[in-house]
A and B are shown apart, each in its own frame.
Chain A
Amino acid sequence: MSDNKKQVVRKDAAWHELPVGGIIPAGGTAKEFKTGDWRTIRPIHDREKCIDCMFCWAYCPDMSVIVEDGKVVGFDYDHCKGCGICAKVCPPRVSAITMVPDSEADAETKKEEEAV
């Protein structure tokens, strides 16, 4: 899909080279639009606490909760906008999702990488 899109809509295309009417002659192209960079806070998932009730998966407006074999395994940070709905709908007695400022999360990741 990604290759198809790049082929039909070049970034530097002149007005007369574009498909008519603003269409993109390919499907599922929202995936190419990385909305993750709109985010200032990110959800952090605690696998130990999670009961896999799927509330977060059902409520996520960006299909950014990753589920494998019926288990929540994390988030798609390329598309998660950090709205916090997942943390809000996570049952209070479970509280498996916490929202953390991206700056802190990035600093944490950097520290871990340096330690390695």
Chain B
Amino acid sequence: MSVVAKKHRIALTGNEAVAQAMRQIHPDVVAAYPITPQTEIVQIFSSFVSDGLVHTEYVPVESEHSAMSATVGAAAAGARSMTATSANGLALMWEILYIASGSRLPIVMPVVNRALSGPINIHCDHSDTMGARDSGWIHLYSENAQEAYDNMIQAVRIAEHPDVKLPVMVCMDGFIISHGMENVELLDDKVVSDFVGSYKIDHPLLDIDNPITFGPLDLQDFYFEHKRAQAEAMVRAKNVILQIGEEYAKLTGTKYELFETYRLDDAEVAIVVIGSTAGTAKVQIDKLRSQGIKAGMLKVRVFRPFPYEEIKQALSHVSAIAVLDRADSFSSIGGPLFSETRAAMYDAEKRPLITNYVYGLGGRDINLAMIEKVYQDLLEIKDTGKLKQYVNYLGVRE
């Protein structure tokens, strides 16, 4: 990259990095309710408001249902609006998630991934956002605090793009990223504010000269057409995400695509993974490579829209694939990433053998030895040409 904007390298937790991104984006309205491990984001952001660093209207609501409702109202009124949540808070937003996406409101919401109760647990897994995978929101996942920061800034442009007009969740692993401190490179405030531009919607409710009816009853004669249009917006989102990624790369030198591949081009065995586990896997892949094992990885950044065609192409040369899910879908056939990846590979000319590992539920640690075990299993699958089972539970006491 020839021209790269000045960057400021500072030590931040994931929550701090996301709060900084929100300060720089400078939304008109933030309505939020605190929940572990998201609390710091809204706490830090509310300090920015009270310190006069942002002129955002901050609405401290009484629940997440109200947080999302207020955000929907503000976005429809014509304000750039955000909220943030985790786990049970996301669950309490549920009905309004669909109203946000169905009303095509470009809300951006960081979600700090945490296990859904019960039994009650506050630590990382992806059961919260994976449960919301069909809510019509775009889902961007982050491997670390830097990616969370970068995804936040790009999410604004993706959500508000005229071809898209859909809400975006920016997901990061609870505690592992949200509370872990790393070096993060922040852009200048001005660079971010120029990049995100101003919020414009076609029919804001506050345009009293041009009144509209918002949220009318939509019965048998129109609802289906509106849902068809929503489905198309999600299809179009894929190219928009790539375009915005290119544009952002011109600023930062880092290119964001639909997924990241790591030593995948000549890999014989590969894993598919989401979030912070990718960082651990990269270390293990380097170790295996030094032993002559052709191991690779595909890390999914964009889960909705699901990049099925691109994933199929990226993985079609691999003999055996393990999909790592940090959430069970309780379908009895593994986690959601497994279902999607396996479906994507159905059209591959030479279908690889694909197995699933559900891991890390409720914050259970995943380490190098566990990832090595997955690759050992894959090598056996490759050599024998046989899967023992579709679904494995990695790191559970047997």
Measured CB to CB, the residues of A under 8 A from B are: 9, 11, 13-16, 18-30, 33
Q: How far is the CB of A3 from chain B (nearest CB, A)?
A: 15
Q: How far is the CB of A91 from chain B (nearest CB, A)?
A: 34
Query: Considering only CB atoms, which chain B residue lies closest to A9 in the complex?
Result: B222
Q: Are B211 and A21 in contact (CB under 8 A)?
A: no
Q: Considering the chains assembled together, what is the distance between the CA atoms of A114 and B103 in angstroms?
A: 51
Chain B residues whose C-beta falls within 8 Å of the C-beta of A24 in the assembled complex: 212-213, 216
Measured CB to CB, the residues of B under 8 A from A are: 102-105, 165, 202-203, 210-218, 221-226, 228-229, 232
Known pairs A15-B228, A25-B203; A20 contacts B165 (CB<8 A) = yes
Q: Are A33 and B213 in contact (CB under 8 A)?
A: no
Give the contacting residue for A11; candidates B105, B221, B226, B228; CB below 8 A: B221
Chain B residues whose C-beta falls within 8 Å of the C-beta of A19 in the assembled complex: 203
Give the contacting residue for B232; candidates A13, A16, A26, A28; CB below 8 A: A16
Known pairs A15-B226, A26-B211; A20 contacts B202 (CB<8 A) = yes
Q: Are A18 and B214 in contact (CB under 8 A)?
A: no
Chain A residues whose C-beta falls within 8 Å of the C-beta of B216 in the assembled complex: 22-24, 29-30
Chain B residues whose C-beta falls within 8 Å of the C-beta of A22 in the assembled complex: 102-103, 215-216, 218, 222-223, 226
* A-B interface pairs (CB < 8 A), number: 61
Chain A residues whose C-beta falls within 8 Å of the C-beta of B213 in the assembled complex: 23-24, 26-30
Q: How far is the CB of B53 from chain A (nearest CB, A)?
A: 32
Q: Considering the chains assembled together, what is the distance between the CA atoms of A9 and B216 in angstroms?
A: 13
> Which of A20, A22, A24, A25 has the largest number of chain B CB atoms within 10 A?
A22
Chain B residues whose C-beta falls within 8 Å of the C-beta of A13 in the assembled complex: 225
Q: Considering the chains assembled together, what is the distance between the CA atoms of A16 and B217 in angstroms?
A: 19
Chain A residues whose C-beta falls within 8 Å of the C-beta of B165 in the assembled complex: 20-21
Q: Are B211 and A28 in contact (CB under 8 A)?
A: yes
Q: Considering the chains assembled together, what is the distance between the CA atoms of A18 and B226 in angstroms?
A: 8
> Which of B105, B165, B212, B215 has the largest number of chain A CB atoms within 10 A?
B212
Q: Considering the chains assembled together, what is the distance between the CA atoms of A80 and B109 in angstroms?
A: 42
Q: Are B102 and A21 in contact (CB under 8 A)?
A: yes
Q: How far is the CB of B158 from chain A (nearest CB, A)?
A: 16
Query: Considering only CB atoms, which chain A residue lies closest to B105 in the complex?
Result: A21
Which 5 A-B pairs rank lowest in CB-CB distance, beginning with the nearest?
A27-B211, A21-B104, A15-B228, A15-B225, A24-B213
Q: Considering the chains assembled together, what is the distance between the CA atoms of A31 and B190 in angstroms?
A: 48
Chain B residues whose C-beta falls within 8 Å of the C-beta of A9 in the assembled complex: 222
Give the contacting residue for A25; candidates B103, B104, B212, B217; CB below 8 A: B212
Q: Are B103 and A21 in contact (CB under 8 A)?
A: yes
Q: Are A20 and B229 in contact (CB under 8 A)?
A: yes
Q: How far is the CB of A5 from chain B (nearest CB, A)?
A: 9
Q: Considering the chains assembled together, what is the distance between the CA atoms of A19 and B165 in angstroms?
A: 12
Query: Considering only CB atoms, which chain B residue lies closest to A11 in the complex?
Result: B221
Known pairs A21-B105, A22-B103, A28-B211; A33 contacts B217 (CB<8 A) = yes
Q: Considering the chains assembled together, what is the distance between the CA atoms of A27 and B208 in angstroms?
A: 10
Chain B residues whose C-beta falls within 8 Å of the C-beta of A20 in the assembled complex: 104, 165, 202, 229
Q: Considering the chains assembled together, what is the distance between the CA atoms of A9 and B218 in angstroms?
A: 12
Between A and B, 15 residue pairs with Cβ closer than 8 Å are A14-B225, A18-B222, A18-B226, A20-B202, A21-B165, A23-B103, A23-B214, A23-B215, A24-B213, A25-B210, A26-B213, A27-B211, A28-B211, A28-B213, A30-B213
Q: How far is the CB of A46 from chain B (nearest CB, A)?
A: 34
Give the contacting residue for B212; candidates A15, A23, A33; CB below 8 A: A23
Q: How far is the CB of A52 from chain B (nearest CB, A)?
A: 32
Q: How far is the CB of B56 from chain A (nearest CB, A)?
A: 24
Q: Are B229 and A18 in contact (CB under 8 A)?
A: yes
Q: How far is the CB of A84 from chain B (nearest CB, A)?
A: 22
Chain A residues whose C-beta falls within 8 Å of the C-beta of B232 in the assembled complex: 15-16
